[in-house]
């Protein structure tokens, strides 16, 4: 399992007055996901563990060095329209699609979220990954309601639980 906290260091990602800095929120959720997956018996690697910059290519290299990994990248979203809200999970390879679905289904169950579905996009961390890889946009920091929720520790804990559950369901099968 590779847990990838988006952005870091000079790259703050999206920053809004409702949600704060994406790089901070992404690292916090990533650390929570990492802890939950370890507790569930997964071997995990984080691509960054603090507030520093990591090149996208390096994130992919870290992932491709693992055996049989699932790569989960964690981000928060930005839109010029404040009204836009909801989680999205991106994938490219067909093998990644069911993981994307499982994670999105879990996020959908959170209070106040209206998910925007699973989607494909040519994100470099997905394209160059040799293993199943998904990118989770946990919510829009530009939406006052959702941004405010994302800024709260209790909501980030729920986000992390949902993402971890999606991965665990994937590994153990939908039985
Ligand atoms: Zn991002």
Q: What is the mean pLDDT of the chain?
A: 94
User: What is the arithmetic mean of pLDDT over 86-113?
Assistant: 93
Q: How far is the CA of 73 from the centre of ligand 1 (A)?
A: 9
Dihedral of the CA atoms 112, 82, 10, 29 (nearest 10)?
0
Q: How far is the CA of 7 from the centre of ligand 1 (A)?
A: 6
Q: How far is the CA of 101 from the centre of ligand 1 (A)?
A: 20
pTM of the model: 0.95
Alpha helices in 89-138 (DSSP H): 94-108, 124-127
User: What is the arithmetic mean of pLDDT over 119-134?
Assistant: 93
Instruction: Write the Ramachandran bin of 68: left for phi over 0, alpha for psi from -120 to 50, otherwise beta.
Output: left
CATH, domain range 2-173: 3.40.630.40
Residues measured by CB to lie within 5 Å of ligand 1, the ion: 6, 13, 75
User: What is the arithmetic mean of pLDDT over 142-158?
Assistant: 97
Q: How far is the CA of 67 from the centre of ligand 1 (A)?
A: 26
- pLDDT of 112: 80
Residue boundaries of the structural domains of the chain: 2-173
Q: How far is the CA of 140 from the centre of ligand 1 (A)?
A: 10
- Which of these, 51, 45, 105, lies nearest to 72 by C-alpha position? 45
The pLDDT of residue 175 is above 60: no
User: What is the arithmetic mean of pLDDT over 132-151?
Assistant: 97
């Amino acid at each position: 399992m590779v847990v990838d906290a988006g952005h870091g260091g000079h790259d703050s990602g999206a920053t809004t007055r409702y949600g704060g800095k994406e790089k901070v929120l992404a690292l916090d959720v990533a650390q929570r996901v990492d802890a939950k997956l370890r507790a569930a018996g997964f071997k995990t690697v984080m691509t960054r563990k603090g507030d520093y910059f990591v090149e996208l290519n390096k994130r992919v290299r870290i992932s491709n060095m693992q055996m049989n990994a699932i790569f989960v990248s964690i981000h928060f979203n930005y839109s010029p329209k404040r009204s836009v809200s909801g989680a999205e999970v991106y994938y490219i390879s067909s093998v990644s699609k069911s993981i994307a679905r499982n994670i999105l289904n879990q996020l959908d169950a959170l209070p106040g979220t209206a998910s925007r579905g699973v989607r494909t996009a040519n994100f470099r961390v997905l394209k160059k990954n040799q293993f199943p890889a998904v990118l989770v946009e946990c919510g829009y920091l530009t939406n006052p309601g959702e941004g405010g929720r994302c800024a709260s520790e209790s909501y980030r804990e729920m986000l992390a639980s949902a993402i971890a559950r999606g991965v665990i369901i994937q590994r153990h099968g939908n039985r």
